[in-house]
Structure 1
Amino acid sequence: MSDEIFFAEDDEVEVQFHGTWKVLIVDDEPEIHAVTKLALGDFVFQDKRIEFISVFSGAEAKKAFMEHDDISVVLLDVVMETDDAGLIVANFIRNEIDNHFTRIILRTGQPGQAPERDVIVNYDINDYKSKTELTAQKLFSVVIAALRSYHDINVIEENRKGLEKVIAASADIFTLQSFESFIEGIVQQLSSLLGGTKDVAYLTSAVMGPKPINQYHSTELFVFTGKGEYKNKEGLRLEQVISGPQLSSCMLAYANKSLIYEDEYMVAYCDSKSKRGSLLYLSGLPSKLSQNDKKLIELFSRNVQIAFDNILFNKELQETQQEVIERLGQALEQCSEHGRHILRIVKISQILAREIGLSKEESETLGLAVPLHDIGKIKIPENILAKSEKLTPEEIEVIRQHADFGYDLLKDSTRPLIKAAALIARDHHEYWDGNGYPRGKSGESIHIYCRITSLADAYDVMRHKNSYQDALSAEESLRLVIEQKGKQFDPTLVRILEENINKIEEVITLYPDF
């Protein structure tokens, strides 16, 4: 046996860096720039290296801050083109561009030029050093302390923004928009608590989202909301935004209903009582996840899906309610010749509502209430409703009673939607000039819902053939509406209809009669 001793060759370990810290050097002496870069050349903190930005005057420093909104630390000389150039830059940072995140380390070759106590208090300076006392080791320590503070401040700010979104969304959690904000806020908080995770995506198989995704099979996963790389990927399929080993991990976590942790990313299955499943995907992790981090992610994944399922259930109830009302309204048309009249006036009414400035909630209420505008006709004899010849004055008076009949059917409800429908049923035949029925109301004493329904209903009736008239052209219908401005119809609504006639005609094209 040989007595020689052999040593195994050292394997080269490739160090992975995740981004950089931007450090701005502001000094009119080129030697200071060179020495600083030399002293911090191999600097690494939290797996990030330093990216140096060098400028040589106060004016250049201001420009650098306008071009970079993520400068972590500025090493700022006091005396440059003027004796107080550095202090002017500090004031610019804190007060003019309102940047209270960047850590300012003031360096001066003339300590007596600006008294340290006054400068730190009045200019929100984080450290004040003489150039002669900043050895390589002290410079390293100062920059480490500054970066740690910068990182912590950003984590706190991310948490604050996340909490703001959660609080704002919690006031109206059962709307899609607020729920999206709710999830976004929680994801933002989670990523900041993990140390500033770069990219986050919440993926779901539910057919719901800010972009229409119901053209895909419901077992597929889609981005519901995201941060970083996935911020503008809402509505896209999982395969369109994630690939390679990360995609394989996502599919495995989804299939096994598990959590998968890797060095730079993690995937958590969000459990659900329904058949819908979701994934929480985080990439660009700043460091290896601790046990506390993992517990936080597990807690999030368990609970966020419960909220999501509740919202989907509520949305399904709302859509069912809307469909029932729409189908009832269609049945009340009494004859097939009106086809999709109800659907069209709902769409036209919502265009008018939005353009006149009604809120989203008011517009939705109007859209749900409009289908019941003629519910009182169920008490009108069918032989009168179906009559194709000219009606007698007596028959006209009978038909007019449907307004009060409809109101009486709905008026006792305490539900805002049904109360709105009751008003519309009674007053959608009132005229702006007071010559309508049943009560002769005029002007703004007629509820805006009723004025909108009246105009939408009349325009759509003119544009389609029925038992007593042929369909009129868009030009002729609009001319007749304009003739009735200030008489039958609200002048403001007529103007809005005229300005949006292309959108309204698009509705008529998209939803023709059967």
Structure 2
Amino acid sequence: MTDTFLFADENNTSAAAPRKSPYKILIVDDDDEIHVITRMALSDFQLNGRGLEFISAYSGQEAQQVLQEQDQIALVLLDVVMETDHAGLDVARWIRETLKNRLIRIVLRTGQPGQAPEEEIIARYEIDDYKEKTELTYRKLVTLMYCSLRAYRELLRIERNRQSLEQIIKASAELFSASSVRELSRGILAQLVTLVTHADTAAYCSVDGLTAKSRSNGFEVLAATGHYAGDEGSRLQQQVEHTVIEALVQRPEPVSFVIHQHDYYGLYKTRNGRSYLLFIEGIVKDDAPNDELSEHDQHLLELFMNNTAIAFEHAKDHNLDG
């Protein structure tokens, strides 16, 4: 019973982010009992409100097929000996060298200790951990999940920042075109979201047409990340709380925000009467109490709203076609 308290603190955040997708865990082992035991042991595991989704493969070849078909697998629990004595090592090499995936955490599990030197295996195959099956107790398995998934999360954040920086550099070549403004804003938005929160979904919209009678036509998406990216250049198709935005419109301040059901709504009003909305899903950080943002994070978001609004106003005033 005491083991259940090992991750009780982090489970408390699950209610704060109900829409977070689970981490994908690939179990690769030719022993069906290992799959059953692993699933049972980790059935209630959560990290910052995200549970686990288990995918099973029973051979090295099947594992490669799954990895080609499935994206965003965070961790592979990989048996060494399956159809051959080194099938697991072949999969590990294939992940790093052929699939060229450096983000997936790879943990080798072996039921035959001493079959391969641990130090040599970890160094040669870029393995993140090497465990004997007999030593993976419930507590150690949970600890392994925490360490591996936290490392994966941080590597994923670094990769997203790298991609958004590439967008910024690419867009900076033509700073005065409307298409460049959109590209530049998208890159900055993607980087901003990863800095402020663990989420990756946000939309930056013009809300010139917002009225109580024309809600469905009031949001033109100028830049977006995550599943809002498909709405860029058109009307926002996803669900937002219009009453929240209408309340922000009524405020006298040029820049204001509210966190509603863990989502961020920020509104910037220009001097010529236009308004811009920044919407971010799951804005609240894992360790933030009572849906609070730090002053630094608030300042970053206000800067983004202010500067991007100026850029889009410049594009409109000069009749640039995005």
User: Shorter-chain TM-score category?
Assistant: 0.7 to 0.9
Whether the aligned pair in 1 keeps the contact of 2:14 and 2:49 (CA below 8 Å) is no
Corresponding residue of 2:4: none
Return the offset for 1:309. 2.1
How high is the TM-score relative to the length of structure 2?
0.84
Deviations 1:403-454 (A, max 9, x none): xxxxxxxxxxxxxxxxxxxxxxxxxxxxxxxxxxxxxxxxxxxxxxxxxxxx
Contact 1:220 1:237 in 2 (8 A): yes
Quote the Cα distance in structure 2 between the aligned partners of 1:132 and 1:14. 31
State how far apart, in whole Å, the 2-side matches of 1:104 and 1:68 are: 16
Distance 1:93 1:147 in 2: 17
Unaligned runs of 5+ in 2: 1-12, 286-290
SS of equivalent to 1:104: strand
Residues 242-281 of structure 1: pairs in structure 2 closer than 5 A: 242-243=239-240, 246-256=241-251, 257=254, 258-281=256-279
Task: Note the C-alpha offset of 1:101.
Answer: 0.6
Trace 1:347-386 onto structure 2 (pairs within 5 A).
none
- C-alpha distance in structure 2 between counterparts of 1:289 and 1:29, whole Å: 47
User: Does the aligned pair in 2 maintain the 1:20–1:51 contact within 8 Å?
Assistant: yes
1:164-214 CA deviation, whole Å, 9 max, x = no partner? 11121112111122111101101111121133324211111479xxxxxxx
**Counting strand residues as a fraction of each chain, which structure ranks higher?**
2
The equivalences for 1:44-443 within 5 A come to 44-205=46-207, 220-238=218-236, 240-243=237-240, 246-256=241-251, 257=254, 258-285=256-283, 287=285, 288-291=291-294, 292-313=296-317, 315-316=318-319
SS for the counterpart of 2:51 is: strand
Q: Cα gap change, 1:69/1:241 in structure 2, threshold over 3 Å: closer, same or farther?
A: closer
Structure 1 residue 220 displacement after superposition: 4.2
Q: Deviations over 1:467-498 (max 9, x none)?
A: xxxxxxxxxxxxxxxxxxxxxxxxxxxxxxxx
CA 1:286/1:89 → structure 2, altered by over 3 Å: closer, same or farther?
farther
In 1, Cα distance between the equivalents of 2:201 and 2:243?
A: 18
Q: CA offsets per residue over residues 6-58 of structure 1, 9 Å max, x none?
A: xxxxxxx9933521000011111111112111221110101000111111110
State the shift of 1:223 in Å: 1.3
The CA distance in 2 between the partners of 1:195 and 1:73, in whole Å, is 22
1:142 and 1:310 mapped to 2: Cα distance? 51
Larger RCO (CA within 8 A; separation ≥ 6):
2
Deviation at 1:269, TM superposition (A): 1.0
Report which of the two has the higher share of helix.
1
Taking only aligned residues, the RMSD between alpha carbons, in angstroms, comes to: 2.3
| CA-CA distance at 1:133 after TM superposition | 1.1
Per the alignment, in what secondary structure is the counterpart of residue 248 of structure 2?
A: helix
Q: Is the 8 A contact 1:46 1:286 kept in 2?
A: no
Asked whether the 8 Å contact 1:155–1:195 carries over to 2, the reply is no
Mapped to 2, the partners of 1:65 and 1:228 lie a distance apart of 22
Contact 1:254 1:279 (C-alpha < 8 Å) held by counterparts: no
Query: Structure 2 vs 1, CA of residues 14 and 176 (structure 1 numbering), >3 Å: closer, same or farther?
Result: closer
Tell me the alpha carbon deviations over residues 54-112 of structure 1, each in whole angstroms, 9 at most, x when there is no partner.
11110111011011111000100011110000000001111111111110011111121
Cα–Cα, structure 1 residues 20 and 289, in superposed 2: closer, same or farther, change >3 Å? farther
In the other structure, the counterpart of 1:394 is: none
User: How many angstroms does 1:124 deviate by?
Assistant: 0.6
Distance 1:38 1:95, change over 3 A: same
TM-score by length of 1: 0.54
Q: How far does the alpha carbon of each residue in 1:260-296 deviate from its partner, in whole angstroms, 9 at most, with x for none?
A: 1123211111242332221111124464453143332
Distance 2:14 2:199 in 1: 22
- Distance between the aligned counterparts of 1:200 and 1:154, measured in 2? 17
| Residue type of the alignment partner of 2:304 | F
* Paired residue secondary structure (2:230): coil
Distance in 2 (alpha carbons) for counterparts of 1:92 and 1:265: 40
